[in-house]
Structure 1
Amino acid sequence: MSRITINGKSFETSMPEAQIKWRVKELAQQISRDMEGKNPLFLAVLNGAFIFAADLMREMTIPCEISFVKLASYQGTTSTGKIKEVMGINEDLSGRHVIILEDIVETGLTIKQMKESLGTRNPASVSVCTLFFKPERLQEDLKLDYVAFEIPNDFILGYGLDFDQQGRGLKDLYTLVKE
């Protein structure tokens, strides 16, 4: 297990890239089966989900599209609980099958707000696909359609997730070491 230091905090490898990519491929296969003949629109939440979204798109076996939305709710290692839209959606969602791609679902506040907002734009359906899910942090009654990994309530980074904008490019997943 390797240890790294970012902004004065120590992190240890908790999941290798190969394990993540294998599970992303499985999700792509499942979504491809579920959405056969529907040309889904993936809506990736930036910045954290960009690597997950890219890897998932490369594994899809059906026609699909992607767009991006940028939301903000974090400062340092904790969520502020307030979600603000930094970059919105420009696509017409009427009659589309939309799949929200999230890097991590914790409280569920972001997903709840997004689903409510998207619902006003008349999509045929709205599904949620997340790379990581912390069930013990969930505060909203949400249906998550595709979950790659359920993880404990630890602070993580790598594979797109950051700590004060650092560590996104790490290939493996790292967990904050409690000292």
Structure 2
Amino acid sequence: MDKEKLELYISAQEIQSRIKAYGEKITKLYQGTTLHCIGIMNGSLFFFSDLLRQIDNYIVIDTITVSSYQGVNSTGEIIFSKAVTKNIEDKDVLLIEDLIDTGKTLSVVIAEIKKLKPKSLRVVCLADKIDCHPDFKYEYEALFDIKDEFVVGYGFDVDDRYRQLEDIYIYRG
């Protein structure tokens, strides 16, 4: 692994602390209900699983697979490899994403989820490049606002490399 290309950006301890706090918030908001949690794969895999372990409610789990990146560049084309498989009509839904960059992929995903007529839809992302998506029109919560840098680790990758790192790094490849 080319560790010399990586600059530590967010520590595993800081990530887990924010996830724990958000899990507590979700537990309170949805107390006494069943929450349908949909993770956007593959990038949200670690965030998705760590967050779900912090939610003390009944949950139903589903995933979707969407991509728009090749290497460090967006292709501009959004491809669904796996769609929602469980019925979410009239259900409370938490959509879990790793990163909002341009917001184009998440905009398409949210529009698709809304077509399935959930009772409510809350969107959470681990990290947000807030300056990169001035036209993003959906409500969401982000655990971290980050610089417009290419990041890896904790699910973020370059062609599937570096996902498994527990910290988040700026990639200087």
| TM-score (norm: length of structure 2) | 0.94
Q: Which of 2, 5, 22 pairs up with 1:5?
A: 2
Distance in 2 (CA, whole Å) between partners of 1:114 and 1:176 is 26
Alpha-carbon displacement from aligned partner over 1:105-141 (angstroms, at most 9, x marks no partner): 1111122111111111121011101000010111322
2:159 matches 1:156 = no
Q: Secondary structure at the match of 1:64?
A: strand
Distance in 1 (CA, whole Å) between partners of 2:170 and 2:87 is 38
**Greater shift after overlay, 48-57 or 76-85?**
76-85
In structure 1, the residue matched to 2:138 is 142
Q: Secondary structure at the match of 1:94?
A: coil
In structure 2, the residue matched to 1:78 is 73
Distance in 2 (CA, whole Å) between partners of 1:135 and 1:86 is 27
Q: Secondary structure at the match of 1:41?
A: strand
Q: Which amino acid aligns with 1:32?
A: T
Distance in 1 (CA, whole Å) between partners of 2:17 and 2:117 is 34
In structure 1, the residue matched to 2:46 is 51
Deviation at 1:62, TM superposition (A): 1.3
Q: Which amino acid aligns with 2:99?
A: I
Gaps of 5+ in 1: none
Aligned length: 172
> Over the residues paired in the alignment, what is the CA RMSD in angstroms?
1.5
Equivalent runs, 1:50-129 vs 2, <5 Å: 50-129=45-124
**Greater shift after overlay, 108-117 or 69-78?**
108-117
Distance in 2 (CA, whole Å) between partners of 1:87 and 1:11 is 31
Gaps of 5+ in 2: none
Distance in 2 (CA, whole Å) between partners of 1:117 and 1:177 is 34
Q: Which amino acid aligns with 2:83?
A: G
2:33 matches 1:38 = yes
Quick one: percent identity of the two aligned structures? Answer: 26
Q: Secondary structure at the match of 1:73?
A: strand
Distance in 2 (CA, whole Å) between partners of 1:177 and 1:160 is 17
Q: Secondary structure at the match of 2:98?
A: strand
**Greater shift after overlay, 156-165 or 35-44?**
35-44
